[in-house]
């Protein structure tokens, strides 16, 4: 579609250039001054250049074809002073119709939806110009009206009448002057009442169009006044009169020049992608995203909608919101981020941003990548949270199983063995009283000793599974018991304020127990120190010794298992063990 629009624009521009060439040739053959021909040719070609730029850069906009048509209409009036038969009268009758197209273009470009609004205003201006053309065509005769004996006769003058011609000329030009001024006021009013995006994009066009309509109104009013009084509105001596006249006519070229300035200015605006991308790294929700977009696109009215369930949307504050319909409505437009069937977000913005399509598309591309990353990060966080919760459940279940085994051993097997020991002791006492053989008494003593040893070993096993002192008296007492059973002196330093959650206490206990066991078995240390501190919602543990060092968690299942267990509940394990410098084990456990 864009390619077809550009081809049609190029064909139309070629036609206008050909028409300009013919017009200049006719003017030269008629003896027109070279400076007039050059000024007239360059002025009309200004519309062509701007029209081509509009067609190429904004193929979907009506501005390009309208500027090219204005360029063609510019040369129609150039035939009026040529003195050639027929074309002189046609040029005089239909001159300045470019003002009508420029007025329509001004109203289109000042409308947020790029529509001709209000249409009655352009219709009234077109009617006034048509009435003026009919008066000049049907009522004007150069010999009778102007005493121009050398002028070619007007073949269209059906009712040549000076009074009627002047009346139509005065009335139509006054109407044209008023309507042109009204078009300029409408455009300027829209500019003043528009938002910052609209002003940034359109102000060169609308300001230039307002000045052009002022020149049109002045020119038409001067026609009416000079027809009625025979005097010009502004009397100047030469060459100032000619310069002023060209300035009034040349004011129309401000419109194509304004369009070129606006187009080049929009394309030359520095890209905000760097600051925009940096802003996306700020933590926050849709509100922060909206702030970054508003700053990047210069649209304070912009807001971001996020998709919710069942095709609904939510605003930046999380409240339900409605997505505007397709196409610009009342100066608003919607740009979807992501695929239409599964959008990641919707940007509701000033429709003037559609004029900056490259900027808007670039921002949307960066935003889409950011939202995709955000979605992936959210899914990853959810998966990580699920894994963490699963590991915590496993650790909690393991801890509960430890307690159950400890209770079963204590209440079941241990009590049974104690009962067997008491029975053996009773049997030994009976054997003494009844003077049984010495061999039987020795067997009873041996059985009682074995049972006592089994009870002791069972108690040690139960203590390793889950020490009762930890459950009954807490972490401090349990660690002190560990220190007493250690094969080397252990200095325990505690900074605890009351009991901690059971899972935290058991994890801390077994971390210290594993570190002290490694010290006894592998470190060849003479002393060890245990430090425990609870502050700021974190339990910090440190077990250090003066041994030979060289511990490597990667090569030992004990420390590696501790690291996994700590990680499962959000903790962390660090091991420092330089050769000959002892070993230091640090653990951090969340403990709210």
Same domain assignment for residues 45 and 186: yes
For residue 441, is it within any domain? Answer: yes
Mean pLDDT computed over 136-142: 81
Which residues 6+ apart lie within 8 Å of 544 measured at CB? Answer: 528, 529, 531, 582, 583, 584, 585
Query: Could you give the number of structural domains in the chain?
Result: 4
The runs of H, that is alpha helices, within 411-556 are 414-434, 438-465, 468-473, 475-485, 502-518
User: pTM (2 decimals)?
Assistant: 0.56
544 dihedral zone (left: phi>0; alpha: psi -120 to 50; beta): beta
Same domain assignment for residues 150 and 73: yes
Tokens of 580: 């000959």
Residues 489-544 have pLDDT tens digits of 889 898 888 888 888 888 888 888 888 888 888 888 888 999 999 888 889 999 99
pLDDT of residue 271: 47
Q: What is the DSSP letter of 75?
A: T
Same domain assignment for residues 433 and 520: no
Average pLDDT score, the chain: 77
- Higher pLDDT residue, 471 or 273? 471
For residue 27, is it within any domain? Answer: yes
For residue 382, is it within any domain? Answer: no
Same domain assignment for residues 259 and 339: no
Q: Is 532 exposed, middle or buried (0-12, 13-18, 19+ CB in 10 A)?
A: buried
pLDDT of residue 86: 85
Same domain assignment for residues 116 and 245: yes
The residue assigned the tokens 């102007």 is 146
Range(s) of the domain holding residue 283: 273-372
Q: Which of residues 417, 446, 465 is at a domain's end?
A: 465
Residues 327-368 have pLDDT tens digits of 555 567 888 888 877 788 888 887 767 766 666 777 777 777
For residue 416, is it within any domain? Answer: yes
For residue 378, is it within any domain? Answer: no
268: pLDDT strictly greater than 50: no
Which residues 6+ apart lie within 8 Å of 65 measured at CB? Answer: 8, 9, 12, 51, 55
Percent pLDDT > 70 in the chain is 74
Same domain assignment for residues 330 and 447: no
Same domain assignment for residues 504 and 426: no
Q: Which of residues 224, 239, 268 is at a domain's end?
A: 268
Same domain assignment for residues 98 and 215: yes
145: pLDDT strictly greater than 70: no
Task: Give CA–CA dist 77/96, Å, rounded.
Answer: 6
272: pLDDT strictly greater than 60: no
Q: How far is CA 526 from CA 371, 548, 586, in A?
A: 58, 10, 20
Task: Give CA–CA dist 41/253, Å, rounded.
Answer: 12
Same domain assignment for residues 484 and 367: no
Same domain assignment for residues 402 and 367: no
pLDDT of residue 592: 77
Lowest mean pLDDT of 91-105, 113-127, 458-472, 562-576, name the range.
Answer: 458-472
Q: Which of residues 252, 268, 284 is at a domain's end?
A: 268
Confidence of residue 251 (pLDDT cuts 50, 70, 90): confident
CA atoms within 13 A on the CB side of 58: 24
Given CA atoms 472, 475, 480, 484 in this order, what sign does their dihedral have? positive
Same domain assignment for residues 263 and 330: no
């Amino acid at each position: 579609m864009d390619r077809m629009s550009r081809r049609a624009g190029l064909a139309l521009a070629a036609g206008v250039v050909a028409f300009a060439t013919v017009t200049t040739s006719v003017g030269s053959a008629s003896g027109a001054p070279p400076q007039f021909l050059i000024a007239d040719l360059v002025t009309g070609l200004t519309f062509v250049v701007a029209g081509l730029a509009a067609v190429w850069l904004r193929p979907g906009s009506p501005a390009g074809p309208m500027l090219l048509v204005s360029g063609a209409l510019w040369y129609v009036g150039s035939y009026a002073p040529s003195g050639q038969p027929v074309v002189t009268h046609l040029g005089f009758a239909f001159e300045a119709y470019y003002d009508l197209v420029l007025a329509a273009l001004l109203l289109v470009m000042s409308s947020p939806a790029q529509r001709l609004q209000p249409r009655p205003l352009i219709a009234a201006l077109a009617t006034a110009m048509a009435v003026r053309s009919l008066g000049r065509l049907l009522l004007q005769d150069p010999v009778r009206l102007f005493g121009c004996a050398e002028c070619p006769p007007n073949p269209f003058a059906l009712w040549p009448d000076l009074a009627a011609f002047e009346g139509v000329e005065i009335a139509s030009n006054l109407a044209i002057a008023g309507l042109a001024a009204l078009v300029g006021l409408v455009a300027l009013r829209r500019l003043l009442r528009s938002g910052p995006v609209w002003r940034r994009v359109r102000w060169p066009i609308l300001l230039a169009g307002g000045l052009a309509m002022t020149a049109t109104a002045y020119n038409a009013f001067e026609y009416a006044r000079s027809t009625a009084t025979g005097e010009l509105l502004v009397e100047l001596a030469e060459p100032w009169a000619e310069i002023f006249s060209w300035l009034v006519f040349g004011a129309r070229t401000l419109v194509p020049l304004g369009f070129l300035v606006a187009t080049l200015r929009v394309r030359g605006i520095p890209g905000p992608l760097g600051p925009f991308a940096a802003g996306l790294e700020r933590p926050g929700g849709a509100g922060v995203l909206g702030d970054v977009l508003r700053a990047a696109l210069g649209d304070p009215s912009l807001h971001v909608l996020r998709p919710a369930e069942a095709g609904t949307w939510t605003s930046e504050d999380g409240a339900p919101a409605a997505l505007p319909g397709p196409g610009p409505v009342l100066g608003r437009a919607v740009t979807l981020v992501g695929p239409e069937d599964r959008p990641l977000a919707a940007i509701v913005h000033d429709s003037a941003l559609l004029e900056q399509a490259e900027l808007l598309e670039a921002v949307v591309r960066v935003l889409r990548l950011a939202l995709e990353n955000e979605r992936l990060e959210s899914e990853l966080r959810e998966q990580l949270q699920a894994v963490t919760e699963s590991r915590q459940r496993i650790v909690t279940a393991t801890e509960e199983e430890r307690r159950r085994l400890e209770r079963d051993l204590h209440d079941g097997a241990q009590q049974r063995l104690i009962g067997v020991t008491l029975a053996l002791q009773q049997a030994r006492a009976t054997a003494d009283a009844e003077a049984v053989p010495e061999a039987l008494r020795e067997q009873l003593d041996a059985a009682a000793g074995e049972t006592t040893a089994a009870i002791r070993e069972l108690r040690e096993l139960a203590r390793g599974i889950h020490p009762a002192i930890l459950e009954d008296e807490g972490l401090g007492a349990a660690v002190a018991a560990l220190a007493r059973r250690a094969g080397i002196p252990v200095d325990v330093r505690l900074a605890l304020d009351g009991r901690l959650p059971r899972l935290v206490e058991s994890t801390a206990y077994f971390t210290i127990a594993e570190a002290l066991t490694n010290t006894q078995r592998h470190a060849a240390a003479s002393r060890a120190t245990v430090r425990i501190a609870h502050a700021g919602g974190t339990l910090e543990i440190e077990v250090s010794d003066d041994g030979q060092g060289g511990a490597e968690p990667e090569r030992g299942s004990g420390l590696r298992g501790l690291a996994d267990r700590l990680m499962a509940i959000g903790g962390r394990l660090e091991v420092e063990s330089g050769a000959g410098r002892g070993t230091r084990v640090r653990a951090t456990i969340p403990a709210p």
